[in-house]
Amino acid sequence: MRKLNMPLSDENVRSLNVGDPVALSGIMLTGRDAVHKWMIDTFIRKTREPAGDDMEVYEAIKPLLDGGAIYHCGPVVGGLDTGDYSFVAAGPTTSIREEPYQGEVMKHFNIKGVIGKGGMGPLTLAACKELPGLYLHAIGGAATLIAQSVTRVVGVYKMDFGVPEAIWVIEVKDFPVVVTMDAHGNSLHAGVEAESEATLKSILQLS
């Protein structure tokens, strides 16, 4: 398993290929549907004006995402009453919902790693090749195990989105992922889809 510290360099990213197991350490941010739409509408496509703490949050997260990773995760968080936060469960959520936004978000913030489950589509793959960047598959159904790699909750932004949709800034140690979309234009997900389609056609012809 390849051990890498964040932020990731272009050299780190280009040295990895589909199928490579990786253990990430350092700072990463969580972000799901509400976060991606907020980023796109407010700072990238600019279809809405910044309001409230938007600019403050933007200035805080921009350097953390530069060369960093965003994790599609709706965590279960302990210590909500006291502010002494800890991740109880931190499993990945399905990534394809962010496909309309992810490539633009990656380019704007120079995000090198997108973490989730289920894979993403051609827009994200193109961004991975251009930046360069990676899509990293986390283990579905292992939320409690993954939470053990979260050593510290550094902070949280946009709690008005709700706990699962907020931006959680976390420090991780040996966070386990597998490269399933690389910077060379390869996608394990596209390959599986093509093979599945070919197998289905073969079965239908036999029937």
Query: pLDDT of 162-198, one tens digit each?
Result: 999 999 999 999 999 999 999 999 999 765 555 555 5
Residue tagged active-site, from 36, 72, 137, 189: 36
- What average pLDDT does range 73-94 have in this prediction? 96
Across 46-71, average pLDDT: 98
Can you give the pLDDT at residue 194? 56
Active site residue 184: no
User: What integer best gives the mean pLDDT of the chain?
Assistant: 94
At 140 the pLDDT is 86
Domain ranges across the chain: 2-206
Please tell me the distance from the alpha carbon of residue 29 to that of residue 138, in angstroms, as a whole number: 14
pLDDT interval class at 201 (50, 70, 90) = low
**pLDDT value for 189:** 74
pTM of the model: 0.92
| Phi-psi category of residue 46: left, alpha or beta, with phi > 0 → left and psi -120 to 50 → alpha | left
Q: What residue ranges in the chain does DSSP mark as E strands? A: 2-5, 21-30, 69-71, 76-78, 86-89, 113-116, 134-137, 150-157, 167-181
Q: CATH code for 2-206?
A: 3.20.130.10
